[in-house]
Chains A and B, each alone.
Chain A
Amino acid sequence: MSSIIKSPWVIHYDGSSCNGCDIEVLAALTPRFDVERFGIINTGNPKHADIFLITGSINEQNISIVKNIYEQMPNPKIVIAVGVCAATGGIFRECYNVQGGVGEVIPVDVYVPGCAVRPEAIIDGVVKGLGILQKKQEEWSKQA
Chain B
Amino acid sequence: MSTTAITSGLLYLVLAPLIGGLIAGMDRILSARMQMRVGPPIWQPFYDVGKLFSKEQLVVNHMQTTLISGLLFFMVITGLLFFTGYDLLLVIFTFTLASIFLILAAYRAGSPYSFIGAERELLQIMAYEPMVLLVPIGIYLVTKTFSISEILKFETPLIFYLPGVFIGFLHVLTIKFRKSPFDLSSTHHAHQELVKGLTTEFSGPSLALIEIAHWYENVLLLGMIYLFFAPIPWVGVLLALGLYFLEIVIDNSFARMKWEFLLKSSWWVALIFGGGNIILLMLFKH
Q: How many residue pairs between the two chains, A and B, have CB atoms under 8 Å in the bound complex?
A: 85
The tally of residues in B whose CB lies under 8 Å from a CB in A reads 32
Tell which of B34-42, B83-91, B157-165, B247-255 binds the partner.
Answer: B34-42
B191 at the interface (CB under 8 A from A): yes
Is there an interface contact between A76 and B55, defined as CB atoms closer than 8 Å?
A: yes
Which residues on the B side are within 8 Å of A144 (C-beta)?
Answer: 56
B40:A3 contact, CB within 8 angstroms: no
Contacting residues, chain A, for B50 (C-beta < 8 A): 1, 3, 7
CB contacts (< 8 Å) of A47 on chain B: these are: 58, 200-203
Query: What residues on A are CB-neighbors of B3 within 8 Å?
Result: none
Q: Smallest CB-CB separation from B43: which chain A residue?
A: A6
A43 contacts partner chain B, Cβ-Cβ < 8 Å: yes
CB closest residue in chain A, given B53 = A1
Instruction: Give min CB distance, B29 to chain A, whole Å.
Output: 10
A43 CA to B199 CA in the complex, in Å?
A: 12
CA distance A137 to B200 in the complex (A): 23
Q: Given A1-B54, A41-B190, A74-B55, decide whether A34 and B203 contact each other with a Cβ distance below 8 A.
A: no
Determine chain B's interface SS by DSSP, over half rule.
loop
Interface residues of B in 180-207 (CB under 8 A from A): 190-191, 195-196, 199-204, 207
A2 to B187, CA, bound (A): 26
CB of A39 within 8 A of CB of B48, answer yes
B58 touches A45 (CB 8 A): no
Is A72 an interface residue, CB under 8 A from the partner?
A: yes
B44, B190, B195, B202: which contacts A7 (Cβ < 8 A)? Answer: B44
Given A3-B51, A34-B37: A74 and B28 within 8 A (CB)? no
B44 touching A72 by the CB < 8 A rule?
A: no
Q: Check: B32 CB closer than 8 A to any chain A CB.
A: yes
Interface string of B251-264 (1 = CB under 8 A from A): 00000000000000
Question: Chain B: residues with CB nearer than 8 A to chain A?
Answer: 28, 32, 35-41, 44, 46-48, 50-51, 53-58, 190-191, 195-196, 199-204, 207
- Offer 14 A-B interface pairs, CB within 8 angstroms, sorted by A: A4-B51, A4-B54, A4-B55, A7-B51, A31-B35, A37-B37, A37-B39, A44-B195, A48-B196, A48-B203, A48-B207, A50-B51, A75-B56, A76-B56
Q: Across chains A and B, which 5 residue pairs bring their CB atoms closest together, nearest first?
A: A3-B50, A74-B56, A6-B47, A47-B203, A75-B56
